[in-house]
Amino acid sequence: MTIRALRSRWQRALVVLAAAWLLLGCGQTVDLHMPLRLYVLDCGEAQIPDISPWSPGTNEGRPMTFSNHCYLIRRAGAWMLWDSGFADALAALPGGQLGNRGMRMRRSKTLVAQLAELGLSPGDIRHLAFSHTHADHVGNANLFTRATLYMQRAEFDAAFGPEPARYGFNPAAYEKLRDNTVVRLDGDKDVFGDGSVVLLATPGHTPGHQSLLLRLPRTGAVVLSGDLAHFADNFEQRRVPGFNFDKAQSLASMERIAALVKAERAQLWLNHDSAQKARIVHSPRYYE
């Protein structure tokens, strides 16, 4: 056998080994052509006695329950988590816990338990992004120290800078992510390079708030909007909570997402809208 033939055989063997390494993870075979899949996880709720601070000029004294979700995305053999909800520790408090503006925060099921139902642990999450760094979105952030973290640079600087409390952030909730691989963004990011999962810069609620566009093969386009607006009427009326970081940016971001939803014929999922929650399928069922 010639040297050239030996080299060719070794090259083929290396390709096979590389493919096997990619396809075999945790003893399971992964189909790299499996469709994009989205799981919606229940990550708590907040009972609000008066929603007027969220909708200035209206709803004075009106109570509302805000839903809270985490979203698990499977692309081929990779798992991505979008938001981590209220801290799992809340599940051990039957009466919940009081928070800002009189809200009572509750969890009935932990994020860890919901991942386990799908055969996953926090260490299986390889890509991690938050709409923003408020406690109801990063409550379990410290569990995901093995993931690559995607944050807008403005949000990263606010969260890990010298004055996080100025932005309503509590570093204890996410401090362990400081040593993660971090991709600092200055705008949109196509996470996997194929247009299926795209981070969208939508600042205003916080300095580096972001939304997520998913292009699912059967369901179509879905925009996960974080706290761009807390419920449908606020989005439709373009109301901006008085505690948002920047009102002008908030309005511009809402206009941007409204145009995108129209262009993509997308569904807009508002994280805290409980009426919408009742219409959305939750894990272990999923969207493709």
Would you state the structure tokens that stand for residue 30, as one six-digit string? 């992964």
The reported pLDDT for the residue numbered 113 is: 98
pLDDT at position 202 over 90: yes
Please say if the pLDDT value at position 63 is more than 70: yes
Domains of the chain in start order, with CATH, are 26-277 (3.60.15.10)
- Residues 271 and 232 sit within 8 Å (Cβ to Cβ): no
Q: What are phi and psi of 75, to 5 degrees?
A: -125, 115
Element (H, E) at 39: strand 37-48
At 100 the pLDDT is 84
| Residue 32 confidence (pLDDT) | 53
Give me the amino acid identity at 204.
G
Structure tokens at 56: 């200035």
Please, which residues bridge with residue 4 across strands?
none
Mean pLDDT of 254-258: 98
**94 pLDDT higher than 90:** no
pTM: 0.87
On whether the CB atoms of residues 149 and 183 are closer than 8 A, the answer is yes
Residues 26-45, mean pLDDT to the nearest whole number: 75
Residue 20: per-residue pLDDT: 35
State how far the alpha carbon of 209 is from the alpha carbons of 206, 220, 262, in Å.
Answer: 5, 24, 21
Assigned token pair, 274: 């409980």
Does residue 191 register a pLDDT over 50? yes
Amino acid present at 236: E
Q: What is the mean pLDDT of the chain?
A: 90
Tell me which of 168 and 31 has the higher pLDDT: 168
